[in-house]
Structure 1
Amino acid sequence: MFGIGGGELIIIILIAIMIFGSKGIPDVARFMGKTMAQLKNATNEIKNEIQNSTTDSGIDLNSITDGISDEINKAKEGINNTVNPLKDITTDIQNPIQEVKEDIENLSGPIKRQF
């Protein structure tokens, strides 16, 4: 939960109780809940306004965001290939190793049966 451990959460709760008191905590929580709901409503209104204005002006917002998403994915792949260039090599090496292992198992099968 947000990178907070159990001990850290207990310390935060204790500090909140010390600052607001046990009777003030529900009021603070109620205020925070209302504030978060208002913030969420405001961001949704902004999103809707942007979508409506792009639709009215004839701009396809989905094509713009898809193009950006494609470029971001290409950049991620490039970074991953730069950071971990051995990723493809390991699969190229594992297949021949697996084949040799199977060949050894096939050849040693009759030998193992003799013991």
Structure 2
Amino acid sequence: MIHQLTFLFIGGTEIVFVLLVVVLVFGADKLPEIARGLGKGIRQIKDATNDIKHEISNSAKENNIIDTDVTKNVKDELNKVKDDLEEFTGSLKRNK
């Protein structure tokens, strides 16, 4: 069975074709500048999302909407169960 590289439902040849078109349209000298701009944009979106998450969690804590002790205890218990399950299934997994 042959496994093909797929990314967002696009195959490897399509990715190569799109990259070739991008190089032809923008030129090889502009690609680093475009990539840098895209990276900065993605970073700004990430930072904005994290700020929103922090604001929501802080306002929830201030209004006692979320009991952080209870959620921390639940997360700890879930992690313990997960670790126990991984320890148990580790001996059952087969190497391919």
TM-score (norm 2): 0.60
Identity, % of aligned positions: 38
Tell me the residue number matched to 1:47.
53
> In the TM superposition, what is the alpha-carbon distance from 1:3 to its structure 2 partner?
2.4
SS state at 2:8 partner: coil
Q: CA RMSD in A?
A: 2.3
Q: How many residues align?
A: 65
Structure 2: unaligned runs, 5 residues or longer: 1-6, 71-96
- Structure 2 counterpart of 1:3, which letter? F
* TM-score (norm: length of structure 1): 0.51
CA–CA separation in structure 2 for the residues paired with 1:39 and 1:61: 28
For 2:31, which of 25, 29, 33 is the aligned residue? 25
Q: Which runs of 5+ in 1 are unaligned?
A: 64-115
Matched residue SS, 2:29: helix
More strand by share: 2
Match for 1:27: what amino acid?
E
